[in-house]
Structure 1
Amino acid sequence: MEKNPLMNKIVLVTGGTGSFGKKFISKALTLDVKKIIVFSRDELKQYEMKQEFKDERIRFFIGDVRDKERLYRAFDGVDIVIHAAAMKHVDACEYNPFEAVKTNIHGAQNIIEAAIDRGVEKVIALSTDKACSPVNLYGATKLASDKLFVAANSYVGEKKTRFSVVRYGNVVGSRGSVVPFFKKIKEAGTLPITDDRMTRFWITLEQGVQFVLNNLERMYGGEIFVPKIPSMKVTDLAKAIAPECEIKIIGIRPGEKLHEAMIMEDDARHTIEFDDYYVIQPELAWWPQGQLNGGKALPDGFAYTSDNNNEWLNIEQLRDLVEEM
């Protein structure tokens, strides 16, 4: 990243006390940010974060993305919004579907309207591989959210606000992910895996944060940015964390895929490939087709899925990643 997109900017992070939010804020504080606002609904996590980050540039806002009025107040004077707040656990979303819709879809609409009306310059929303050809409610709500943020660039009219989306796969060691779960239960001698064929995309928090920063600089508005990241086999991850444990196949769970996807064939027709990332271009009349210099079109039939990836992490590489956590 040659330029610093945060220099002298006021930045707000929704879900700022989460795994991504804390890592992003830690990085932002090294990049001459003017002020950074942590927007979340958990006062205990905010209290704990205050003890960890003792920096006068940080402000803490208690609020929920479902509450548009609170967002209007929080966005006052803000230049950049990173939207990381979401209901993201598949099981919780399946059991509480209306709550997932309120947070992930209605919350996205509130972010969009507050950003436009408050004159925010740039908004990047975090997405997930589960939003590509979704089979569970979490993925469906994030797909709807992605569509809202892309379309918001038309909805904005003559205002200056621009919206883009970053979509990537499983984050190593994020809260509620499989790594801390496996570490917690490995003493029992058995690790449960739903299917031994299962593969996933894999990215570190540091890589995810850097990808967002890079795209803040390069975004025009309306893109979905997808990084080129490695895949891994879940059985290899289990062997990396606890090679002594027996693997027990328990059967695939409701709403779970064998393999995840980030770009499917229909999206690939309007996707541009770069050295280390893809850009899914919006299918909108105003999109400037010559904007993405240096990229190349994808071949017919292309799909970017975790089982047909060109890059794979082996057991030793996975072990090194896990040990760094």
Structure 2
Amino acid sequence: MFSEKSILITGGTGSFGRKYVQTILESYPTISRLVIFSRDELKQYEMAQEFPPDKYPQIRYFIGDVRDKDRITRALKGIDVVIHAAALKQVPAAEYNPFECIKTNVIGAQNLIEACLDSDVKKVVALSTDKAAGPINLYGATKLCSDKLFTAANNMKGRKDIKFSVVRYGNVLGSRGSVIPFFLEERKKGSIPITDERMTRFNITLSEGIQFVQKALEVMWGGEIFVPKIPSYRILDVAEAIAPDCQRKVVGIRPGEKLHEEMITATDAINSVEFEDYFVILPSLKFWCPEEFMNINSGIRCPEGFSYNSGTNAEWLTVEQIRALIQQHVDPTFHV
């Protein structure tokens, strides 16, 4: 799919970008160019040590910010595919610095869309989050705005050969600032803080997230929000998996936090379709025939009132499975 193609990844020095680059280089050694677009020169330097230019001449490093439309436009020259992973993601930081979050997550998204429309890019996939479904914090609200911008961009393209779609998935196992690395540190103190004993979350590994982005690139028609079928975990099971002998202290839900995460709301169900291993929220503006899309990919309409919620999910990780995933994807030296 990517042989002789050129790809640009915004936020390319993040955990997703690094793993995505590794995956693409292994799967498509004849790729023409991989452009890492990010604003952090130190992370670009560190990434260049991991993927040295003499060994990987396909890689280019572009210092830039999605807030700067001119810089994005320059970086997109000769690019075929864009993966948009740049975002301000920390919920407390977004609440404290709201307009900074808006400038990156919303205005930055529109800058990228307009720059892509003015270039020869053929496919754009934007990464979203479960927090964009029924958002209760600013981060989730900005990502919902971003999702709407990317899906509606298909209405702006005219006859231009370009498609915009969104991939929305849950918490990435072991990502920075997430609960598992936090609990691994806290267990050294002998106590694990639990926000609420009822809390649940979706779970996806970084490799699974990348595979799902690749799937979306293969089947996208433009305007869809792709949602993978992934398992949930209970916060108490995570605590048991990591620190069964530690004391647990209930500290209360933080501002902007949900008891359960949702990726498809009951309102979204009207436009949602189920496939074998993923869901699609169809575009509200009809760019193409939904029935044809469903028939080609063997999909069925979701029932009225359906929602995809971590608390009512059909698949759950056990304590043993959580431990195995931590050892495989977060800390190979982990043991209880």
TM tier relative to shorter chain: over 0.9
Identity of aligned residues (%): 60
Given that residues 7 and 31 in structure 1 are in contact (C-alpha distance below 8 angstroms), is that contact kept between their aligned partners in structure 2?
Answer: no
- Determine helix, strand or coil for the equivalent of 2:118: helix
Unaligned runs of 5+ in 1: none
Given that residues 168 and 203 in structure 1 are in contact (C-alpha distance below 8 angstroms), is that contact kept between their aligned partners in structure 2?
Answer: yes
State the partner residue of 2:233. 232
Deviation at 1:296, TM superposition (A): 0.4
Cα distance in 2 for residues equivalent to 1:273 and 1:157? 29
Residues 249-285 of structure 1, C-alpha deviations (whole Å, 9 max, x = no match): 1011100000000001111111110110001100113
Runs of 4 or more off by more than 6 Å in structure 1?
none
Residue 300 (str. 1) matches residue 298 (str. 2): no
Greater shift, 175-184 or 127-136, is seen at 175-184
State the partner residue of 2:315. 311
State the partner residue of 2:79. 78
State the partner residue of 1:11. 7
State the partner residue of 1:94. 95
Deviation at 1:288, TM superposition (A): 1.7
- Determine helix, strand or coil for the equivalent of 1:167: strand
Cα distance in 2 for residues equivalent to 1:184 and 1:267? 38
Cα distance in 2 for residues equivalent to 1:47 and 1:291? 43
- Determine helix, strand or coil for the equivalent of 1:86: coil
Deviation at 1:23, TM superposition (A): 0.7
Residue 28 (str. 1) matches residue 32 (str. 2): no
Cα distance in 2 for residues equivalent to 1:50 and 1:217? 29
Query: What is the one-letter code of the residue matched to 2:47?
Result: M
Using the size of structure 2 for normalisation, the TM-score is 0.94
Residue 132 (str. 1) matches residue 161 (str. 2): no
Deviation at 1:318, TM superposition (A): 0.4
Deviation at 1:31, TM superposition (A): 2.4
Unaligned runs of 5+ in 2: 331-336
- Determine helix, strand or coil for the equivalent of 2:101: helix
Query: What is the one-letter code of the residue matched to 1:52?
Result: E
- Determine helix, strand or coil for the equivalent of 2:294: coil
Given that residues 266 and 307 in structure 2 are in contact (C-alpha distance below 8 angstroms), is that contact kept between their aligned partners in structure 1?
Answer: yes
Cα distance in 2 for residues equivalent to 1:252 and 1:285? 40
Given that residues 39 and 60 in structure 1 are in contact (C-alpha distance below 8 angstroms), is that contact kept between their aligned partners in structure 2?
Answer: yes
Deviation at 1:87, TM superposition (A): 0.4
Residues 202-235 of structure 1, C-alpha deviations (whole Å, 9 max, x = no match): 0000000000001101000000000000000111
**Residue pairs, 1:1-325, within 5 angstroms:** 5-32=1-28, 33-54=31-52, 55-289=56-290, 290-293=292-295, 294-324=298-328, 325=330
Given that residues 294 and 300 in structure 2 are in contact (C-alpha distance below 8 angstroms), is that contact kept between their aligned partners in structure 1?
Answer: no
Residues 88-125 of structure 1, C-alpha deviations (whole Å, 9 max, x = no match): 11111011000000000001001100011012100000
Greater shift, 198-207 or 282-291, is seen at 282-291
Residues 153-196 of structure 1, C-alpha deviations (whole Å, 9 max, x = no match): 00111111210000000000112212111112211001111111
- Determine helix, strand or coil for the equivalent of 2:8: strand
Cα distance in 2 for residues equivalent to 1:307 and 1:285? 32
Count of matched residue pairs: 321
Query: What is the one-letter code of the residue matched to 1:292?
Result: M
Query: What is the one-letter code of the residue matched to 2:323?
Result: R
Using the size of structure 1 for normalisation, the TM-score is 0.97
